[in-house]
Amino acid sequence: MSRRDRAIICIDFLGWGVAEAGHGGEGREGAFAARQSGQVLAQVHHSQRRYENPNEISNWPKFFYLKNLGSNEMKSVLVSALASNGQISDALEMYEEFKQAGCNLEPKAVISLIEHLQSDGQLSRLLKLLEELTDRDFWLDGCYRVLLYSVRFNHLSAAVDLLKQLKDRISNDEMAMEAIFDEVFFSVAEETTLLQMGFNLLQVIKNDLGLAPSRKVLDVLLSACVSTKDMDKSILIWKEYQAADLPYNILSFLRMYQALLASGDLKSARIVLSKMPKDDPHVRLIIQESQTVYAKMASEKKTVKNRKTKGIKHKKSKAKK
């Protein structure tokens, strides 16, 4: 029996089995059968794509999937299984085929596509998938994922638009909005190149959305300034604590001290240190370690800067001669 024949029998059998599970099975058993069958179908699809001659059987996957899978639940499970197994291109192709055939897939399948479609250049497709979600809870889940994607790949305008949509949908739930903002800025902290993106989003939260940033948001941005040795932004963020009526605590003092040390502004660092509570021995230990680590970083940064300056001066003097 050929690999193709085995695959077709497998699909026929699974389509019947899931139909039985969907109509006769109840609760967890039916859902489990659908999930397991979806995983097997994904493997069948992968094997067919990998080993068979595409020219000979180019039409059979679509025909058999559409004809034999039965319920929308099973079609949704298959799309999700393909996406979660790393076959995102096949999952998207199958999703479009099902849509063209008039099938309304479950929102979980759309969420699965959004979750696994995370390579650069996919923003427009993700936004279209988000439009497919009409259920409020699923839309919020999808919007949150697309928002993180937009931040990760520096799509500021898309991120701003999604934040505005989120505010419109959950404006009465301040805690939910704050939690989303916190998670968005945590993603900024994980990648130092996103500091400018985070700073831009901070301005959007304040000026466009009319909301005050939380302490967590400012703490995350200040930590990113330490990693990037960005003195100017650390000073601006330091002022944001006062603007948001957030008193400085020991963690904000330590982060600001480290940011100034790392950027080489030792004078300002000493001023912050003089205002910092030092009763706790753990705080004193962190101060000592910061002086060792970040002062060395600042020294190395200064050395590199001096070398560049000398190189420029040398080139200019050579040009004059």
**pLDDT tens for each residue of 12-71:** 434 434 444 444 444 444 444 444 444 445 454 444 444 344 444 334 444 444 445 557
Dump strand ranges (E) for the chain: none
What lies within 8 Å, CB to CB, of 16 at 6+ separation is 68, 70
CB-based contact 278:287 (threshold 8 Å): yes
Rounded Cα distance, 49 and 89, in Å = 12
Residue type at 202?
L
| HSE (side-chain half, CA atoms, 13 Å) at 281 | 0
Rounded Cα distance, 153 and 73, in Å = 33
What percentage of the chain reaches a pLDDT higher than 70? 70
What pTM does this model have? Answer: 0.72
Rounded Cα distance, 118 and 321, in Å = 55
Between the CA of residue 66 and those of 63, 78, 216, 237, what are the distances in Å?
5, 11, 49, 55
pLDDT in tens, 158-170: 999 999 999 888 8
Per-residue tokens: 289: 């370690």
**pLDDT over 90 at 255, yes or no:** yes
Angle at 205 between CA 258 and CA 207, to 5 degrees: 110
